């Protein structure tokens, strides 16, 4: 969420930013919020005048009463009573206007970084760099669900009976490999200096509104019926929410955390072969990284964070690339974002396995996360990035380590988490 003062002083910049995000339908919001803000400010001025007048009259009443001028004092009391009624109405009006201003401000997108490429949607995202050589073997790589099934590792039919479409059971060595990737990601991030955390998997609506846009909330979040609780779509939500309303000691900055959680998402509109497997599901597990830092340090942290994801996948010998998200593909709170995509030798293309985002002070402003400097308090910057999300990470691992005889090689980094195993042997042919 932007600072209303910034919008007041730079309406043209805010409108131009909306155009760059191809959200022209939001352009009227700028003039609307400025008009409401002006009315709110005038209401505050009038209320302050009445309070000052009330204090002045109260002193006069005291003096008159002390002089025995009771009638004159009582007459002034009637003025105070009349003004008290007006002040009460102004107070209600101010609250209503503040609420309207806040609601609109939460719909106006954050100012994107100048380096963000301009484009309408994810088809115009820009490849920045590749890491590792993408290879296409001479033999055929089966569909990932078939690879998993050959190890007796997948039961979507039973999950359909217990939970419905978009859920799954992972079994045996495949389930173990899935968890090995998460456990290794945890230790990988701890070695990188991040503090490990296990967050709540449900959060209140005020935290949801603090960490994401309304559109994202409607599209992603599952609500617990009858309770003010939502299942998290990523641990970033509850991890950032942990600092709601806090004045953080500057000596504690930067705060660098890595968190594990299951994640729950509606994933509406899924279709196609990849979505029928484990690529797009309602429940998955993820190791995340979160940073809260000084504003001037956030872009440096952004670059450190996505590179850690690259390093994680390269340590498993999985080729990846960094893809810069264009303006139209950025969620409203983000100033800059990129995806890390893994190579799929079966599809002969890259697919998303992680996303890194700098939200500047948008979440901090909504949640009241501040620090105190020499010039007073200020909002901190928040960032988040996926280390690994599985089953997507698992799909990349299986495809890039699949052998002609149907076995799957286990990367050296994961072998300690697999009881020393270095290869998985299928139970049946595909």
For residue 270, what pLDDT is reported? Answer: 47
On the question of pLDDT at 271 being above 60, the answer is: no
How many domains is the chain built from?
2
On the question of pLDDT at 76 being above 80, the answer is: no
For residues 101 and 267, which has the higher predicted lDDT (pLDDT)? 101
Give the model confidence (pLDDT) of 111-152 as tens digits.
999 999 999 999 999 999 999 999 999 999 999 999 999 999
The answer to whether residues 23 and 155 belong to one domain is no
Buried-state track 228-252, b at ≥16 Cβ within 10 A, e below 16: ebbbbbbbbbbbbbbbbeeebeeee
Provide mean pLDDT across the span 75-94. 78
Of 59-68, 129-138, 192-201, which gets the smallest average pLDDT?
Answer: 59-68
The answer to whether residues 86 and 131 belong to one domain is no
For residues 51 and 372, which has the higher predicted lDDT (pLDDT)? 372
On the question of pLDDT at 273 being above 50, the answer is: no
Q: Does any domain span residue 110?
A: no
The answer to whether residues 248 and 381 belong to one domain is yes
Provide mean pLDDT across the span 219-242. 95
The answer to whether residues 326 and 255 belong to one domain is yes
Sole residue written with tokens 């400097």: 373
The answer to whether residues 301 and 204 belong to one domain is yes
The answer to whether residues 37 and 136 belong to one domain is no
Question: Sorting pLDDT into bands at 50, 70 and 90, what band is 303?
Answer: very high
pTM for this model (two decimals): 0.90
Across all residues in the chain, what is the average pLDDT? 93
Of 72, 105, 138, the one marking the end of a domain is 105
Determine the structural domain holding residue 339 and report its residue range.
122-424
Q: Does any domain span residue 269?
A: yes
For residue 60, what pLDDT is reported? Answer: 66
Of 105, 137, 159, the one marking the end of a domain is 105
On the question of pLDDT at 272 being above 70, the answer is: no
For residue 71, what pLDDT is reported? Answer: 66
On the question of pLDDT at 61 being above 90, the answer is: no
Q: Does any domain span residue 265?
A: yes
Provide mean pLDDT across the span 97-112. 96
Report percent pLDDT > 70 for the chain: 92
The answer to whether residues 283 and 377 belong to one domain is yes
The answer to whether residues 134 and 47 belong to one domain is no
On the question of pLDDT at 81 being above 80, the answer is: no
Domain CATH number, residue 143: 3.30.930.10
Q: Does any domain span residue 429?
A: no
Q: Does any domain span residue 408?
A: yes
The answer to whether residues 233 and 343 belong to one domain is yes
For residue 275, what pLDDT is reported? Answer: 57
The answer to whether residues 160 and 229 belong to one domain is yes
Asked if residue 342 lies in contact with residue 319, where contact means CB atoms within 8 angstroms, the answer is yes
Is the omega angle on the peptide bond into residue 10 within 30 degrees of 0, that is, cis? no
For residue 374, what pLDDT is reported? Answer: 87
**333 CB neighbour count, 10 Å cutoff:** 23
Q: Does any domain span residue 114?
A: no
Q: Does any domain span residue 281?
A: yes
The answer to whether residues 187 and 71 belong to one domain is no
Q: Does any domain span residue 112?
A: no
For residue 23, what pLDDT is reported? Answer: 97
The answer to whether residues 55 and 155 belong to one domain is no
Domain CATH number, residue 76: 1.10.287.40
């Amino acid at each position: 969420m932007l600072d209303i003062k910034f919008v007041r002083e730079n309406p043209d910049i805010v409108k131009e930013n909306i155009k760059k995000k191809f959200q022209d339908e939001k352009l009227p919001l700028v003039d609307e919020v400025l008009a409401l803000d002006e009315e709110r400010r005038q209401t505050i001025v009038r209320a302050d005048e009445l309070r000052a007048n009330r204090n002045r009259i109260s002193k006069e009443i005291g003096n008159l009463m002390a002089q025995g001028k009771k009638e004159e004092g009582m007459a002034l009391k009637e003025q105070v009573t009349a003004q008290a009624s007006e002040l009460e109405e102004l107070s209600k009006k101010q609250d209503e206007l503040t609420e309207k201003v806040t609601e609109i401000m939460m719909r106006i997108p954050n100012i994107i970084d100048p380096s963000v490429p301009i484009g309408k949607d994810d088809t115009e995202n820009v490849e920045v760099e590749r890491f590792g050589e993408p290879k296409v073997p001479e033999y055929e790589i089966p569909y990932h669900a078939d690879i998993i099934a050959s190890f007796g590792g997948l039961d979507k039919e039973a999950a359909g009976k217990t939970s419905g479409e978009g859920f799954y059971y992972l079994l045996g060595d495949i389930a173990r490999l899935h968890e090995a990737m998460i456990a290794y990601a945890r230790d990988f991030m701890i070695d990188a200096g991040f503090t490990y955390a296990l967050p709540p998997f449900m959060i209140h609506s005020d935290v949801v509104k603090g960490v994401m846009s309304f559109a994202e909330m409607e599209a992603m979040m599952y609500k617990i019926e009858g309770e003010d609780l939502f299942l998290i779509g990523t641990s970033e939500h509850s991890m950032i929410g942990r600092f709601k309303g806090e004045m953080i000691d500057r000596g504690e900055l930067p705060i660098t955390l890595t968190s594990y959680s299951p994640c729950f998402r509606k994933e509406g509109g899924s279709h196609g072969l990849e979505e029928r497997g484990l690529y797009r599901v309602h429940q998955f597990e993820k190791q995340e990284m979160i940073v809260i830092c000084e504003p001037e340090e956030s872009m440096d942290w952004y670059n450190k964070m996505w590179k850690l994801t690259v390093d994680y996948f390269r340590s498993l010998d999985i080729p990846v690339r960094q893809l810069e998200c264009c303006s139209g593909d950025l969620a409203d709170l983000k100033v800059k974002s990129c995806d890390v995509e893994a190579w799929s030798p079966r599809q002969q293309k890259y697919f998303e396995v992680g996303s890194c985002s700098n939200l500047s002070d948008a979440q901090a402003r909504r949640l009241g996360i501040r620090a105190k400097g020499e010039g007073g308090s200020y909002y901190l910057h928040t960032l988040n990035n996926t280390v690994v999300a599985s089953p997507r990470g698992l799909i990349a691992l299986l495809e890039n380590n699949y052998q002609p005889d149907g076995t799957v090689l286990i990367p050296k980094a994961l072998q300690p988490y697999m009881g020393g195993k270095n290869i998985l042997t299928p139970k049946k042919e595909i």
